[in-house]
Amino acid sequence: MRSAARDEIRDALAREFDRLPVPSADVFARTMAVYQAESRLRAPDAPGAGLGGLLARGTTALLLAVLPPVAAETLASNLDLRKGPPGDRGLVPGSVLKVAHLFGLA
């Protein structure tokens, strides 16, 4: 194919790719929520016990409960949390009690 024809297709594709959607603000919010939760738990001075630890675990539990399944699974996996039995995604949006149980809060 001549280079001019190749350039024409390249330019036409680029114009159409430019019109593709952009990610919603919700994706950014979810990403930062996981980032902040993980950051807190990985911090060297993160409290592992006491009221501070309880609050940290509670915050993460609530976060896991409201995240979409994929994000919740990823976060739970990264935090080495126990998952549910096969067939059960383990952590699903809204399962506050289940998540809280994993953290020893219920």
Query: Applying CB under 8 A, which of residues 52, 68, 83, 97 lies at the interface with another protein?
Result: 68
Q: For residue 90, give both structure tokens.
A: 């383990």
Say whether 33 sits in a helix, a strand or coil.
helix
Query: Applying CB under 8 A, which of residues 46, 52, 55, 70 lies at the interface with another protein?
Result: 70
Whether the Cβ atoms of residue 57 and residue 103 lie closer than 8 Å to each other? yes
Query: Applying CB under 8 A, which of residues 9, 55, 97, 106 lies at the interface with another protein?
Result: 9
Residue 77 interacting with another protein (CB under 8 A): no
Identity of the residue, 16 or 80, whose beta carbon is nearer to another protein in the bound complex: 16
* Nearest residue to 53 via CA among 72, 40, 63, 35: 40
Residue 28 interacting with another protein (CB under 8 A): yes
What letter would DSSP give residue 20? Answer: S
